[in-house]
Structure 1
Amino acid sequence: MTAHSRTRSAGLSRRRLLTAALATGGAAAAATAAGTAYATRPDGATADLRAADYPGPGAVTGDVEVHDPGFVKRPGGGYLVAHTAPDIALKTSGDRTAFRDAGTVFPGGAPWTTEYTGGDRNLWAPHLSYADGRYLLYYSASTFGSNRSAIFLATSTSGDSGTWTDQGVVVESWTSQDFNAIDPHLSADAQGRWWLAFGSYWSGIKMIRIDPATGKRLGDAWHSLAGRGGDSIEAPTVFRHGGRYYLFVSFGACCQGADSTYRVMAGRSDDIAGPYYDRGGTPMTSGGGTEILAGHGGIHGPGHQDVFADSDSDILAYHYYADDGTALLGVNRLGWDGAGWPYVH
């Protein structure tokens, strides 16, 4: 979800078991600093990138119109998905293929967000986790073109529509500040500490500590993970693999239907708080990013990704636009080449 002026397509107003305590819903190309991209093969070799090198989304059926999807594996089996919509929409799936609508998080609305939304019920970019017998949902409240924004936390023991209790603001941004508090993503490091990444445009992607006992901010420290000098970057996802942390973000224009130029980029770090570097060694704080997935054929603007570990593979979930501008769910397996970089298959 971008907070810059965009028009959303009609009808759509937006994790790996990280530790024993926290389960969160945890390309084939590399982009050089000059913008040249290379397709990455599983053996670590590279070749000139062509759009056809990217696979299509895996088969999904049922209610698959989404924007900014966030996944979590349910403790009893199956999946819960939350996505951008009025009152935050929910979907369920038993097999990661067939999806059905499951109501909204806040059927009666969320009037406590009005200060940030101007009364619009459309809430953005939800991220789901499950820990200690409850679901945690971080979500954004803002308006297009403004960084007067806030990230809220809601919790539920079942995840079902209408059972969520809002826990208040986690972090907010003001127009006098140089960051934007939207697009949250909760993750845990190897020591079990919780972290929240977030951000869109402005000075880029930020990270703060989270108290596992409350789900709220812990301490006053800020970390800058990535930025493009005010250019497009948003939707951070942090995923731990092979002893490293991978930061996935979206570059390009969201929310313009088939004209969207969203694409998924990544960097990695030995520390969850950075610094993150792309495959060519460019810091992500200096605009670096290795391309993982971009538009190809009838798949337009894939982005606002979620990454999680499943029983059969690591998974990349995202939205993309069809030729008619409809925002749809994309799900692909995520592999890792010989040099430890992700690719979509």
Structure 2
Amino acid sequence: MTTESTETDDRARRKRRRTTALGLPATGGRTRRRIIAALAVLVAALTTAATFMLVTANAQAAITTGTWYTVTSRLSGLALGIEGGSSATGAQLVQQTATGATSQQFRFIDAGNGYYRIQARHSNLVLDVYDWNAANGATIAQWTDLGGTNQQWRATATGDYYTFTNRFSARNLDLWEHSTSPGARISQYDPTGADNQQWRLTPVGSTPTDPPTTGNPSQGECATPPSQPGSVGGSLGAHDPALWAGCSGQPWYVFATGDASQGGGTISMRRSTNGGQTWQSIGTIWNSKPAWITQQISGVSNLWAPEIHYDAAQGLYYLYYSASTFGSQRSAIGLATSPTLDPNAAGYGWTDRGAVFQSYTGNAYNAIDPNIIVDDAGTHWMAFGSWWQGIHILKLDWPSGKPAAGATPIRLATKSGGIEAPSMMKRGDYYYLFTSIDTCCAGANSTYKITVGRSSSPTGPFVDASGVDMRNGGGTVVLGAYGNNVAAGGQSLHRGLISYHAYGSNGGFTLDIEQIEWNSAGWPILNGS
């Protein structure tokens, strides 16, 4: 093909694309102005009725985050899908005859400020303007969720259809060249409002294997709340266990302090497929620690005391972890995210999001032992702390999971002899703060105990059952030595259950899980059974 014929074809292609939102040819400026002026009266006459109709239609077509949709082109009637059903990064978005395949199902994850990330169900990857190409005609592909603006889309309702505008490029999701053929590519183009940029969303529902709707530790998330396992066995060497108790028929997971000899000392994982009774080790979240840790904090051999939290709107699990050395205040809390907990699932993988919060010698706090709580207003908070001036809480920006602008730590509890490992939950009118006090990690000489206080606010003040403020050393002991165990602590809360590690009289430690019971005064009861 000659250069001249190529340029002629390109001009023709551009001419085909240059139509107005009403399908009128893009004529010269004077002619176009006459056409627009002629239409103005008609548009004005219809404004009131059109406004009413649009408001009604928009309300009916509201996007529900977490719901899976089939996305259909208004022009072709074909469905969006990932080419070849591929789960690989870089696989392109195309239109296909609707089959109901999971590669043709998408959900919308709130990215803030009116934007969404659009996630493919089969791969857990999100739609991405490939290679940050802002030009008309750029490829739209699936990619690992990195939170970039090239992965964020504004949804604008027009009657029964939506247009999707990319935050990075300001261009619309576009059926390229107005094709009506299966397999045609999807791209981006200047907003025109034409039918090839309009998309119908049809809910396809969810399955019982979808993630739960919230990460808060309440029993209401499951049709049948998980119950205390009759016994626990298997791989139980989990220190500082962060429990995820699956709903009926779903697996349970425990994330725990890493072992320096395994996976580079990164957070360890265990799974139970029989309701928390038998646990198997399933490795570590990574094979080595993130580079920023070893660069910033000297001597970190393993990562400690994780926290697991799920956000349905983001479609992500948030795994917080601690990096420090024993007895040191030079510490950091880090964050990793994954769309699934199952290492065998498509899209699995923990993406490190870097440091969340750090502490230095002389601070009032030690930045380890994170715990996430969401208050009634939907604000996310991170409780944390170990020794020094005790337990603090910090307001978070969401969905970044990092500190909110201008946020400073608020002190919640102190205790002579040591306090750490905060875990918080809401029950009724109160937030309950569980902590671990006294000596951990001393084998048979450990004196760890679990204490609790409550408050009407996650920022305190928390008082114990005797009315003593936890900032002044208060805290009702709910569990210490039991059975053959000399100490218990390092707890986490999920769906009405508490997990912790217990030190035996032989010096070893083991995972334990029990149902939290409540007395008539609204205080928790634990007995180690």
Are 1:317 and 2:509 counterparts?
no
Task: Give the aligned partner of residue 332 of structure 2.
Answer: 150
Judge conservation of contact 2:245–2:276 (CA < 8 Å) in 1: no
Q: Is residue 292 of structure 1 aligned with residue 474 of structure 2?
A: no
The range that moved more, 158-167 or 137-146, is: 158-167
Counterpart for residue 159 of structure 1: 341
Matches within 5 A, 1:246-285: 246-285=432-471
**Are 2:251 and 1:71 equivalent residues in the alignment?**
no
Letter in 1 for 2:250: G
Counterpart of 1:101 in structure 2: which amino acid? S
Match of 1:328 among 510, 513, 518: 510
Counterpart of 2:234? Answer: 62
Matched residue of 1:114: which SS? Answer: helix
Indicate whether 1:126 and 2:306 are aligned: yes
Kindly provide the amino acid, as one letter, of the partner of residue 197 in structure 1: A
Judged with a 3 Å threshold, the aligned counterparts in structure 2 of structure 1 residues 218 and 113 are, in CA distance, closer, same or farther, namely: same
- Secondary structure of the structure 1 residue equivalent to 2:516: strand
Rounded to whole Å, the distance in 1 between the matches of 2:415 and 2:269 is 32
Structure-1 separation of matches of 2:296 and 2:415:
25
- Check conservation: 1:23, 1:131, Cα contact below 8 A: yes
Which structure has the larger Rg? 2
Of 284-293 and 170-179, deviating more is 170-179
Q: Does 1:224 align with 2:403?
A: no
Q: Which moved more, 1:84-93 or 1:294-303?
A: 294-303
Counterpart AA for 2:271: T
Deviates more, 1:93-102 or 1:261-270: 93-102
Q: CA deviation at 1:323?
A: 2.4
The residue type paired with residue 131 of structure 1 is: D
User: How far apart in 2 are the matches of 1:179 and 1:342?
Assistant: 27
Q: C-alpha distance in 2, partners of 1:175/1:290?
A: 30
The separation in 2 between residues aligned to 1:235 and 1:116, in whole angstroms, is 23
Supply the AA of the counterpart residue of 2:369: D
Distance, in Å, in 1 between the alignment partners of 2:217 and 2:255 is 11
Which amino acid is the alignment partner of residue 289 of structure 1? Answer: G
Match of residue 270, structure 2, among 91, 112, 119: 91
Q: Do residues 100 (structure 1) and 280 (structure 2) align?
A: yes
Per-residue deviation at 1:111? 2.8
More strand by share: 1
- Once the two structures are TM-superposed, the CA of residue 58 in structure 1 deviates from its matched residue by 5.4
Contact 2:329 2:359 in 1 (8 A): yes
| Alignment-derived partner of residue 214 in structure 2 | 22
CA distance in 2: counterparts of 1:77 and 1:211, whole angstroms: 30
Separation of aligned partners in 1, 2:217 and 2:350: 18
Give deviations 1:39-73, integer Å, cap 9, x for gaps.
Answer: xxxxxxxxxxxxxxxxxx95101111110000124
- Counterpart of 2:290, as a letter, is A
Deviations 1:264-297 (A, max 9, x none): 0000001111000001010000000001101134
Deviation of residue 201 (structure 1)? Answer: 0.5
Code of the residue aligned with 1:200 in structure 2: it is: S
TM-superposition CA deviations, 1:286-327 (whole Å, max 9, x none): 000001101134112100111221xxxx21110011222221
Larger mean Cα displacement after TM superposition, 109-118 or 220-229: 109-118
Distance 1:74 1:165 in 2: 23
Equivalent pair of 1:25/1:70 in contact (CA under 8 Å): no
Q: Counterpart amino acid of 2:399?
A: A
| Letter matched to residue 505 of structure 2 | D
Contact map agreement 2:217 2:425 (CA 8 A) in 1: no
Q: Give yes or no for contact 2:415–2:437 (8 Å, CA) kept in 1.
A: no
Counterpart of 1:79, as a letter, is W
Instruction: Tell me the residue number matched to 2:360.
Output: 174
SS in 2 for 1:112: helix
- The residue type equivalent to 2:237 in the other structure is E
In the aligned structure 2, how far is the partner of 1:106 from the partner of 1:225?
A: 33
For 1:331 and 1:240, the matched residues in 2 are separated by 19
Kindly indicate whether the alpha-carbon contact (under 8 Å) linking 2:299 and 2:325 is maintained by their aligned counterparts in 1. Answer: no
Q: TM-score, normalised by structure 1?
A: 0.80
When you count helix as a share of all residues, which structure comes out higher? 2
Offset at residue 112 of structure 1 (A): 2.0
Q: Distance in 2 between matches of 1:115 and 1:201?
A: 25
* CA shift digits 1:133-183 (9 cap, x unpaired): 211101000011110100001001122458111101111001021210000
The 3-state SS of whatever aligns with 2:363 is coil
1:208-255 CA-to-partner distances (Å, cap 9, x unmatched) read 1112211111132321110125x3000000011112100000011000
Unaligned 5+ segments in structure 2 are 1-211, 219-228, 259-264
2:302 maps to a residue whose letter is N
* Alignment partners' CA distance in 2, 1:304 and 1:122: 16
Structure 1 unmatched ranges of 5 or more: 1-19, 27-56
The residue type equivalent to 2:328 in the other structure is: S
Judge conservation of contact 1:116–1:142 (CA < 8 Å) in 2. no
2: distance between equivalents of 1:232 and 1:300?
17
* Larger relative contact order, structure 1 or 2 (CA cutoff 8 Å, min sep 6): 1
* Residues 228, 143 of structure 1: alpha-carbon distance in 2 compared, 3 angstrom cutoff: same
Distance in 2 (CA, whole Å) between partners of 1:194 and 1:211 is: 7
Distance in 1 between residues matched to 2:351 and 2:281, nearest whole Å: 20
